Amino acid sequence: MPILNRAAELQDEVTGWRRHIHERPELLFAVENTAAFVAEKLKEFGVDEIATGIGRTGVVGIIRGKGPGTRAIGLRADMDALPLTEITGKPYASKTAGKMHACGHDGHTAMLLGAAKYLAETRNFNGSVAVIFQPAEEGGGGGNLMVKDGMMERFGIEEVYGMHNMPGLPIGQFAIRKGPIMAATDEFTITIKGRGGHAAQPHRTIDPIAIGSQMVGNLQMIASRNVDPLRSVVVSVTKFIAGFAHNVIPNDAMIAGTVRTLDDEVRTLAETKLKQIVNGLAAAHGAEVDIVFNRNYPVTFNHATETGHAIQIASDIAGAANVNADIDPMMGGEDFSYMLNARPGAFIFIGNGDTAGLHNPAYDFNDEAISHGISYWVRLAEQRLGS
């Protein structure tokens, strides 16, 4: 089955919504206007129940099928933008300098609204579909907060699915894999407390810059000498802040960065080793050190059975040749991971064609993907809810 006729008919209307949202980007949890737009559309479609304020500014719409049953599946989109200034020059470009939809969440929200409209019109399924619109995917963990607010229990959601556009993957194609598909994104901040002094009398100091430099070098041993080369880990130091003059060794230095892993065992090993290396080097050189290690988004883990359903639906729509069912995992993070930790499900990529990359100021969601995305959502809901 190719894309659904009705999804193709919705193309222009959904494109309008997408561009409306694109012009009005909002950050993190402060997506009040986008959430209000979503809730208003759901109301217009005759969705049975609309819950707002879940995970602060998240919205859930419940669409009941014609058939009986209490089973519900969740389809999730994200609503937030990024703190970037858009350079696309498009007529519907962001109206707010310093904010833009550079990750395509405008497109995700619009496609899920399109699916909600279709499903509310047809209702060819048993039980109910929960359309989930979350805030704060780009940091803040809005997905986590929605789960903590009891969304899964409240609406009886038994399976949950997510979708993200992928620049470089042709329009009409999908990509997915069973198991880990996106990384855990942990963050560390190391404060080295040495003893400053005259740059010409280093022997009277405890030099936090010299010690910190050894830490930066030695942290690379985690990837090169601690973790099995066939398993994945990234340790990136992204900040090193110290000093203020050519002739003064400062008291302190601060180092920060991120650790990316694809399974819990390596995640824990990397954290343990990072602390050992940093504490060991500080002790060796007489400095004090403070380490803050924040476990941020967990691994986005696609459950085998549900990934099988996703592959089947994507293949029905796009043709099996247009579905990469074993894409390499990515070391970026995604807070849909919290929903997948709460319920079985799968996260799929949809082709965005030859566009600028995500988080790039020249990026724009490709509206040609809309009918493919709507078709995927609709067929997935109808198939999983047994019509």
Query: Stretches 31-39, 101-109, 182-190, 211-219: which one binds Zn ion (CB under 5 A)?
Result: 101-109
Closest separation in Å from C-beta 14 to Zn ion: 18
Query: Stretches 5-13, 21-29, 60-68, 102-110: which one binds Zn ion (CB under 5 A)?
Result: 102-110
Give yes or no for residue 369 binding Zn ion (CB under 5 A): no
Cβ atoms of 21 and 48 within 8 Å: the answer is: no
Give yes or no for residue 181 binding Zn ion (CB under 5 A): no
Helix residue ranges per DSSP H, the chain: 5-9, 11-23, 32-45, 105-122, 142-148, 151-154, 208-221, 264-285, 304-318, 337-342, 370-384
Catalytic residue among 80, 207, 252, 364: 80
Instruction: Tell me the three state secondary structure of residue 195.
Output: strand
Cβ atoms of 292 and 185 within 8 Å: the answer is: no
Query: Stretches 36-44, 99-107, 128-136, 308-316: which one binds Zn ion (CB under 5 A)?
Result: 99-107
Identify the residue among 10, 100, 103, 385 touching Zn ion (CB under 5 A). 103
Nearer to Zn ion, 103 or 262 (CB): 103
User: Considering only residues 325-364, where is the footprint of Zn ion by CB under 5 A?
Assistant: none
Give yes or no for residue 81 binding Zn ion (CB under 5 A): no
Closest separation in Å from C-beta 364 to Zn ion: 14
Closest separation in Å from C-beta 165 to Zn ion: 8
Nearer to Zn ion, 128 or 302 (CB): 302
Closest separation in Å from C-beta 359 to Zn ion: 6
Q: How far apart are the C-alpha atoms of 74 and 70, rounded to whole Å?
A: 13
CA distances from 36 to 21, 31, 60 (A): 11, 9, 12
In 3D space, the residue among 103, 115, 132 whose CA is nearest the CA of residue 28 turns out to be: 103
Interior CA angle at 301 toward 298 and 302, to 5°?
155
Catalytic residue among 78, 86, 137, 364: 137
Q: DSSP letters of 104-145?
A: SHHHHHHHHHHHHHHHHHH--SEEEEEEEEES--SSS-HHHH
Query: Stretches 6-14, 56-64, 97-105, 371-379: which one binds Zn ion (CB under 5 A)?
Result: 97-105
Q: Taking CB positions, which residue lies at the least distance from Zn ion?
A: 103
CA-CA-CA-CA torsion sign (123, 110, 79, 51): negative
* Number of amino acids touching Zn ion (CB under 5 A): 1
Nearer to Zn ion, 61 or 143 (CB): 143
Closest separation in Å from C-beta 149 to Zn ion: 21
Q: Is 23 a catalytic residue?
A: no
Closest separation in Å from C-beta 123 to Zn ion: 30
Query: Stretches 5-13, 95-103, 293-301, 363-371: which one binds Zn ion (CB under 5 A)?
Result: 95-103
Closest separation in Å from C-beta 195 to Zn ion: 42
Nearer to Zn ion, 103 or 160 (CB): 103
Q: How far apart are the C-alpha atoms of 321 and 39, rounded to whole Å?
A: 37
Give yes or no for residue 79 binding Zn ion (CB under 5 A): no
Q: Is 80 a catalytic residue?
A: yes
Give yes or no for residue 77 binding Zn ion (CB under 5 A): no
Q: How far apart are the C-alpha atoms of 155 and 62, rounded to whole Å?
A: 8
Q: How far apart are the C-alpha atoms of 165 and 334, rounded to whole Å?
A: 13
**Buried b / exposed e across 291-314, counting CB within 10 Å, b at 16+?**
bebeebbbbbbbbeebbebbbbbb
**Which tokens belong to 49?**
């129940």
Nearer to Zn ion, 103 or 181 (CB): 103
Q: How far apart are the C-alpha atoms of 10 and 29, rounded to whole Å?
A: 29
Nearer to Zn ion, 118 or 301 (CB): 301
Nearer to Zn ion, 227 or 339 (CB): 339
Question: Which residues contact Zn ion by CB under 5 A?
Answer: 103
Give me the active site residues, please.
Answer: 80, 137
